Amino acid sequence: MKQNIDNKQELFTGAEIFVKCLEAEGIDLVFGYPGGAVLHIYDELHKQNSVTHILVRHEQGAVHAAEGFAKSSNKPGVVLVTSGPGATNAITGIADAYMDSVPIVVFTGQVRTALIGNDAFQEVDTVGITRPCVKHNFMITDVKDMANTIKKAFYVASTGRPGPVVVDIPKDITEDKCEFVYPEKVSMRSYNPSVQINDKDIDLAVEKILKAKKPVIYAGGGVINSNASDELTKLAKYLNFPVTNTLMGLGCFPGSDPQFLQMLGMHGSYEANMAMHDCDLLIAVGARFDDRITGRLDKFSPNATVVHIDVDPSSISKNIKAHIPINGDVKDCINKIIKKTMDKKLKPMNLDSWWEQINEWRKKDSFKYIQEKDIIKPQYVVDRLYEITKGDAFITSDVGQHQMWAAQLYKFNKPKRWINSGGLGTMGFGLPSAMGVQFANPDSLVCCITGEASIQMCIQELSTCLQYGLPIKIINLNNRYMGMVRQWQEFFYEKRYAMSYMDALPDFVKLTESYGHVGYKVENPNDVDSAIIEAINKKDKLVFLDFITDPNENVFPMIATGAAHNKMILS
């Protein structure tokens, strides 16, 4: 019987299917940089209008921008780069996203399948290189697998504990043809992020909650990833438990609330670290007990029963033994605890004496500083930025002293407002991540708090900001040093400041102006407010504020590596 040719399905190239997959997934923004291996895809992107491509100036910047986009929204970030150096330039950003559990999908070009393994031009083993720093990666070797693989990539990146997924696409796959069907759902035998929460563990946790005399809630970035900030706040307020945040968790509980103990850890507040040390019940929610939090492990919260709630079972008891492990989505777990306590109107013990002790510790005022007449203290700039913006800005940061001052002094009352590199500590993160935040929140004020060393790592993205009219405000705390390196050299290397002094800095104002933006140099403490206000008032301009700050200022409190977390250097 002769087949009716009218019933034949239309065939599409792999490049066309790629774009159709993004459309089906609801992706409308891609950060990237073109190259030979991905030109078929770029040609298809050029032909359509539903997916906007943002041309960055470096592939690392593309990934950080996608991170900023994902962290400040409820959407995954998407990156497209070419093979070889395009892929390797993206590795730092991919590793950063992996450490901080950021849902991004990175598409990398690859040489033609027949050339793989032949040391072809711009060939690297992207799957092999990225394997240690991704949640998962794929190589597409048949165009018929394109749609299903891309669906899997977004599913893996965004469910369970989020993370980066890399999809490597050889060039010939983008020109081969097949039918297009985008699956409604996918099933992966080796990946099942749905977790059945053990109600017995919830009951045990509630039992400890109701009997605790010195409790602390220790909340991390997992609360924000799970969109569980409202639930955590509701429970903490009902229980009257003190709350402390990790660097990544800031904003998941209101920073101006009297129950908030501020950030804990190496540069955390005195009251947070002391409360963690003395507590009898430690409820860890979406946090992983990293070394910057715990200090010396065998001295960490020695008298506490530890309840650890996390979606990732491998994080539970990894560093600190959990007496009551609760594996599951943070939001679901908190809601179960709410049902067992608030819904039954069960009240914990009277905590007046515990709060009296905490308030005694608070009197140390461990984040205090003295603003002098003649030189700008970096903390003062962050303080004034908070007061002037009323805490209603998105703040990105680079890595170093300025990051710690921002975390200490800018009070985040909402989640997804504090965007920084926590686990990997990536200098250069601040500006490109601010671009991603601005794209995700086009009508909001976005400020990047940085330092003169960090900002130069990805400063070429000022060009991207000009091309797309991004009105980011850059707050450069310029102390002419790699500040945190200098601080460690002062404390632990007998003031041998090896290679930490930045003695060949550009004129940041002229550099900013050369990119088509506005720059101001601020040296007098009396000019700090007016400079910030003028920058904010230039609503359609990127403004670079170069604050010349005290080069000798250090971040306090500080816990030395290997010290117990109640052994803080306060000044």
Q: What is the pLDDT along the chain (571 residues), one digit of tens a residue?
A: 344 445 568 999 999 999 999 999 999 999 999 999 999 999 999 999 999 999 999 999 999 999 999 999 999 999 999 999 999 999 999 999 999 999 999 999 999 999 999 999 999 999 999 999 999 999 999 999 999 999 999 999 999 999 999 999 999 999 999 999 999 999 898 898 988 999 999 999 999 999 999 999 999 999 999 999 999 999 999 999 999 999 999 999 999 999 999 999 999 999 999 999 999 999 999 999 988 888 888 889 999 999 999 999 999 999 999 999 999 999 999 999 999 999 889 999 999 999 999 999 999 999 999 999 999 999 999 999 999 999 899 999 999 999 999 999 999 999 999 999 999 999 999 999 999 999 999 999 999 999 999 999 999 999 999 999 999 999 999 999 999 999 999 999 999 999 999 989 999 999 999 999 999 999 999 999 999 999 999 999 999 999 999 999 999 999 988 888 888 999 8
What is the number of residues in the chain? 571
State how far the Cα of 278 lies from the Cα of 301, in Å rounded to an integer: 6
pTM above 0.85, yes or no: yes
Is residue 566 classed as helix, strand or coil in its secondary structure? coil
Helix (H) or strand (E) holding 85: helix 85-89
State how far the Cα of 374 lies from the Cα of 371, in Å rounded to an integer: 9
State how far the Cα of 144 lies from the Cα of 468, in Å rounded to an integer: 36
Active site residues: 59, 121-122, 171, 484
pLDDT at 2: 40
State how far the Cα of 571 lies from the Cα of 557, in Å rounded to an integer: 7
pLDDT at 392: 93
Q: Are strands 177-178 and 12-13 parallel, antiparallel or unpaired?
A: antiparallel
pLDDT at 5: 45
**Which class is 199-362 in CATH?**
alpha beta
pLDDT at 415: 98
- Find all residues with CB under 8 Å of 36, minimum gap 6, and list them: 82, 83, 109, 122, 171
Report the number of secondary-structure helices (H) and strands (E) in the chain. 21, 20
Centre a 10 Å sphere on the Cβ of residue 357 and count the other Cβ atoms it contains.
16
Q: In sequence order, what DSSP letters do the residues of 184-202 get, joined into one string?
A: S---BTTB-------HHHH
Within the chain, all domains assigned CATH 3.40.50.1220 are found at 199-362
- Find all residues with CB under 8 Å of 190, minimum gap 6, and list them: none
Centre a 10 Å sphere on the Cβ of residue 231 and count the other Cβ atoms it contains.
21
pLDDT at 194: 83
The superfamily CATH assigns to domain 8-178 is Thiamin diphosphate (ThDP)-binding fold, Pyr/PP domains (3.40.50.970)
pLDDT at 293: 86
Cβ distance 157 to 289 under 8 Å? no
Within the chain, all domains assigned CATH 3.40.50.970 are found at 8-178, 378-548
Nearest Cα to Cα of residue 241 among 374, 169, 341 = 341
pLDDT at 112: 98
Considering only CA atoms, give the Rg of the chain: 25
Pick the CATH number of 378-548 from 3.30.565.10, 3.40.50.2000, 3.40.50.970, 3.40.50.300: 3.40.50.970
φ/ψ region of 448 (left if φ > 0, alpha if ψ in -120 to 50, else beta) reads beta
pLDDT at 1: 36
Q: How far is CA 126 from CA 84, 94, 123, 140, in A?
A: 8, 12, 8, 12
Strand partners, 396: 419, 448
Nearest Cα to Cα of residue 108 among 393, 116, 155, 374 = 116
